[in-house]
Amino acid sequence: MGGLAYSKINEAFINAGFFIGMGAAIIEASSFGIPSIQAIEYIQEPICYGWFYKNEGFEIGAYIKGNPTASIAALLEEGLAFTEKEYEVAAEKSYQKAQAFAIDNTIQKFISFAQNADCNFVFHFPKWKRILLKMASQPFKLIEKKAADTIKK
C-alpha cells in the first residue's frame, strides 16, 4: 500500500500486469490494455465488482447496494492463471471498455441524451422554492428596468 505521484502513473501502467482501482484511474489503466478489477469506494473488505471489462454501463466504482460482488483474491488468481491468449483477450476487452469513456463517445452520448430528452419534462420545484426564486429575481428585474430607462433617456 502507498501512494503514487500522478506524474509516475504512466510508468507504473507500462509495467503492470493487472490493476485494481476505480474512477478515472481504472479507465486509464484499461486504456493501456491492462486487465483491471473494479474496486468499490468506501469498502474495507477485499471485494470488488469484478473485471472492469465485464461490467455493464458506466459505473466506475461507486458503492451500489445490491450489486453483485466478487473476491479480489479469486479474481487475481483467475488472472494469474490466464494463458497468454486469454490475457491478450482480457487486455483487448479492457482497452475496448475504456474507449466507451473516451471524450468523443461520451459527448455523443450526451448529445443523444439531449436530443432525445422528453420535451414535456418539467423540473418540479416545491411552491416555497418557486416563491423564494421569484423574490430573489426581483432585484434583477429592478436593475434591468433602471438600465432600460437609462438607455431610453
Can you say whether the dihedral through the CA atoms of 97, 101, 103, 104 is positive or negative?
positive
Helix (H) or strand (E) holding 146: helix 127-152
Mean pLDDT, each 10-residue run in order, the chain (153 residues): 78 90 92 95 93 90 90 97 97 96 83 70 63 66 61 63
- Helices 84-99/23-31 angle, 10° precision: 120
Q: What is the CA radius of gyration of the chain?
A: 24
Q: How many residues in total does the chain contain?
A: 153
Please give the model's pTM, rounded to 2 decimal places: 0.68
Confidence (pLDDT) at 28: 93
Biggest alpha carbon–alpha carbon distance for the chain: 83
20 forms bridges with which residues in the sheet?
Answer: 37
The neighbour count for residue 12, using CB atoms within 10 Å, is: 14
Which pLDDT does position 110 carry in this prediction?
A: 78
User: What DSSP string runs through 109-144?
Assistant: HHHHHHHTS-TT------HHHHHHHHHHHHHHHHHH
51 SS3 class: strand
